[in-house]
Amino acid sequence: MKLRPLLLAALFALLTSGTAAAADTAGIVKRLHGTVTLQRGGQPLPLAPGTAVQVGDRLVTGPDGAVGLTMADDTLLTAGPGSTLVISEFRFNSTTNEGNLLATLLKGTLNVVTGLIAKQTPQAVNVQTRNAVMGVRGTDFIVDARGDAP
């Protein structure tokens, strides 16, 4: 009785999705400059090109730092110096291109080049700062979060 759904699930996974190892990977670090730290569950983790980034991860760049990520749906997220970026939400189905992305820029600068999720469902891609929410209708943009004033 239990075997059948399992088998179907395995077959479905085989046919439609990527490797199991990639399941938690929201994006991958592609470019690094200067001081950049990755914080996961409050712990700092080493960072190099190729490092996988997960939902909940916080990237902090120093005064000389910058980091460029390619998300699983081809969205490019690039944070400039003095930035704190949190990958708050990310889901992506590579078969249907459905999913959602919420990036939180607590401070600093962020460039977003939207990918497959925004092409499929533009309103599913959002960037929030302390005082504003940017709702994508499909495209390339910069957000510069300067102050903490509410």
Partner 1 sequence: MKAALCLALLAGLLAGCAPLTERVILLPGAAGSSTGALSVKAARGEILLAEAYAQADVIGGEPVRLTSSAQAVQAAYGGLLAMRPPAPQRFVVNFELGGDKLTPDSEPVLDRLRAALAAIPGADLVVIGHTDRVGSVEANDRLSQQRAQTVRERLVAAGAAPERISVAGRGEREPAVATDDEVPEPRNRRVEIKLR
Q: Which residues bind partner 1 (CB under 8 A)?
A: 14-19, 21-22, 28-31, 33, 48-51, 66-70, 74, 76, 78-81, 94-95, 109, 111, 113-114, 122, 129-150
* Closest distance of CB 41 from partner 1, Å: 21
Of 31 and 40, CB closest to partner 1: 31
Classify residue 92 as exposed, middle or buried by CB count within 10 Å of its CB (0-12, 13-18, 19+): buried
Q: Which is nearer to partner 1, 44 or 95 (CB)?
A: 95
Beta carbon nearer to partner 1, 1 or 149: 149
CB 101, min distance to partner 1, A: 14
Q: Determine which helix (DSSP H) or strand (DSSP E) holds 15, and give its type and residue range.
A: helix 3-16
Residue closer to partner 1 by CB (options 2, 4) is 4
Q: Minimal distance in Å, beta carbon 39 to partner 1?
A: 19
- Identify any residues that bridge with 84 across adjacent strands, giving them in sequence order: 60, 107
Angle at Cα 39 formed by Cα 28 and Cα 78, nearest 5°? 45
Least CB distance to partner 1 at residue 16 (A): 6
Amino acid making up residue 114: T
Cβ of residue 30: shortest distance to partner 1, in angstroms? 4
Q: Residues 44-64, buried b or exposed e (16+ Cβ, 10 A)?
A: eeebeeebbbebebbbbbeee
Nearer to partner 1, 1 or 79 (CB): 79
Longest CA span, the chain: 59
